[in-house]
Amino acid sequence: MQKIVLASNNAGKVREFQALLDLLNFQVIPQGELGISSAEEPHHTFVENALAKARHASLASSLPALADDSGICAHALNGQPGVLSARYAGEPANDDANNKKLITELNGHDNYGAHYVCALVFVRNENDPEPLIVQTRWYGKIINTPRGDNGFGYDPYFFLPDLNKTAAELDPTHKNLISHRGQAMRELISQLKARS
């Protein structure tokens, strides 16, 4: 089983990535278990932040690293909160506060359309000249009242009209099939298989 370090300490992400990477016989080790601090995320794009996190985790662990940068982009807010999704309401990061701020900011707008973005980066080492990079989107809309107990972050407010459910109402297996992260992982897995 190949070990890779996951450049995240988010328990929800760790569960989702482990479930998806079990198929490739990868052992996912969260960076926190190795005493690796979080990387700086100073960039304005998901891809740049994911690359910075992957290189940081690989350098500190001497292992291949996988990092994602993901968030939600509200169409009426010109893509905000975007890369600031986890700390939209400020420090410390708090899902409830972030969701309240997003609902408040959208109040009075006609367009509640939104999409999740996931940028995934895999590096073989900290200086990998050919990182594998995938970016995907998952479209829905924001609702004012939360629904569902699964998921995390903005999931209880992210409504999928075709399914008449929020992301938090989906069974985790179903969510992994259709979510931004699930789409990105499938594409990355196919790139990893092609490279081997």
Active-site residue, from 69, 95, 155, 171: 69
Alpha helices in the chain (DSSP H): 11-21, 46-61, 95-106, 172-178, 180-195
134 burial (CB, 10 Å; 0-12 / 13-18 / 19+) is buried
Find out whether 55 and 41 touch, Cβ atoms under 8 Å: no
Contacts (Cβ under 8 Å, ≥6 apart) of 12 = 151, 152, 153
Find out whether 175 and 118 touch, Cβ atoms under 8 Å: no
Active-site residue 95, yes or no? no
Element (H, E) at 140: strand 132-142
- Tokens 């999928």, residue located: 160
Find out whether 130 and 152 touch, Cβ atoms under 8 Å: no
Torsion of CA 16, 19, 25, 30, to 10 degrees: 40
- Among 172, 169, 192, 191, CA closest to 182: 172
What amino acid positions are annotated as catalytic residues? Answer: 69
